[in-house]
A = this chain, B = another copy of it.
Amino acid sequence: MRTLIKNALKSETASDSLTIKGWVRTRRDSKAFSFLEINDGSCMANMQVVADAGIPGYDQVSQMTTGAAVGVTGQLIESPGKGQKWELHASSIQLIGEAPADFPLQKKGHSPEFLRSIAHLRPRTNLYGATFRMRSRLARAIHRFFDERDFTYVHTPIITASDCEGAGEMFRVTTLDPAKAEAQKFENDFFQKSSYLTVSGQLEGETFATALSNIYTFGPTFRAENSNTSRHAAEFWMVEPEIAFADLNDDMDLAEEFVQYLVKDALENNEGDLEIFAKFVDKGLIERLEFVANKPFVRCSYTEAVDILLASEEKFDYPVEWGVNLQSEHERYLTEVHFKSPVTVYNYPKDVKPFYMRLNDDGKTVTAMDLLVPGIGEIIGGAQREERYDQLLANMKAHDLNIDDYNWYLELRKYGSCPHAGFGLGFERMLMFITGMKNIRDVIPFARTPGNCEF
């Protein structure tokens, strides 16, 4: 029976016989024994193994090089060395799988670019192991947050014929043979119409919120944007809650609580993984996380925000005036310099926002909101939705949408309509915030970007 190193290291008591299995990180030999550091990916820490010469399996110790898979059985005893509580005094040792000398992860630093080219091996490094364990924990925390609040998890469709944002930039999904002329006839395609990969599950999420009250989606979304930046990927995961009988204030309450919950969870339940980011990736990480976890969000209307930015002495690359979308530099000024706290900006000009947001009585702004955090700027965007049939129809016409495609969406406003609201959190953006990792390619197991679809 194998014990995960994570659990062995948490032992309360010594043990006479315990078996671990994992991969060799380092080995040092002396005449009488060898020291091995074994990692099994269950946690950052290695198990230190002392293997006396002559124990069963020791004859193969020279093949137990960095990267080799091994099994060790022995006594778990208190470690005389510093840094770890326990070590394993081997009674037998087994070579399971060798790692030849060309194993690319020998003990030395590697560039992120090189590691992306061996994305099938990089989770075996400390940094990427920690990244993907944090990714898993963040997903868990998201599900737990909504579970504790009676939300129903909904799987909205990935393949869709509608374009939530009306923004284009979608991947087409097809079974037609592109080499044949009939590729032009969508009625011959699998779904008998043009179909695409979804950019958001929000519209479908609304149908469930107006039936089950509180719902959320958590799944992959896609953008066929030809952007080669550190923040864009063609495939990424989104979290989109939607709450019925709720207005913009309820939405801001939920979003702020959500962000603080996730950040606190990362600070409290990371089993040592956060250290490596604070040490090697971003010295200011813990401070920034505590800033967001503990300071209340300041709420500020878009109009107030523009006034603050205009009154500031700051030189911005993008000029500010009422009616423009805020850029990351503006958002960071508000949270980092002006308010020195997380900020929620609400009531944006209608012309910079999508059709489904609720028009305010001023006729100029909509019930949009963005949550801003230091280092990143916007981390969540959301809105109260337009629940009035006539107004939504007018919005759709103003946005040149094909009404026939959205009859089902309009019907939510015809039958038992109610105020409702929701928001979207880019999962990778939150993970980058929590780990300090700078490139989205490094927090996705196998990232998809223009020209990259390997593995």
- Chain A positions within 8 Å of B, measured between CB atoms, are 2, 4, 6-7, 21-24, 40-42, 67-69, 71, 96-100, 103, 118-121, 123-124, 129, 132-133, 135-136, 139-140, 143, 147, 150, 152-162, 171-176, 178-179, 183-184, 190-193, 195, 197, 204, 207-208, 210-214, 219-220, 222, 224, 226, 234-235, 237, 244-245, 387, 408-409, 411-419, 444-446, 448, 450-455
Q: For A237, what are the chain B residues with a Cβ–Cβ distance below 8 Å?
A: 155
With A140-B143, A157-B455, A207-B123: A68-B99 Cβ-Cβ less than 8 Å = no
**Taking the full assembly, how many copies of this chain does it contain?**
2
Q: Are A208 and B123 in contact (CB under 8 A)?
A: yes
Q: Are B121 and A4 in contact (CB under 8 A)?
A: no
State the CA gap A450–B445 with chains docked (Å).
31
State the CA gap A454–B175 with chains docked (Å).
17
Q: How far is the CB of A66 from chain B (nearest CB, A)?
A: 9
State the CA gap A103–B139 with chains docked (Å).
38
Known contacts A96-B419, A160-B455; 18 additional CB pairs below 8 A are A4-B213, A4-B214, A23-B416, A41-B152, A42-B212, A42-B214, A96-B416, A129-B212, A155-B220, A155-B237, A157-B446, A158-B197, A162-B455, A174-B178, A191-B448, A204-B445, A408-B454, A408-B455
Closest to A140 in B: B147
Closest to A6 in B: B150
State the CA gap A136–B444 with chains docked (Å).
25
Q: Are A100 and B450 in contact (CB under 8 A)?
A: no
Q: For A40, what are the chain B residues with a Cβ–Cβ distance below 8 Å?
A: 213, 244
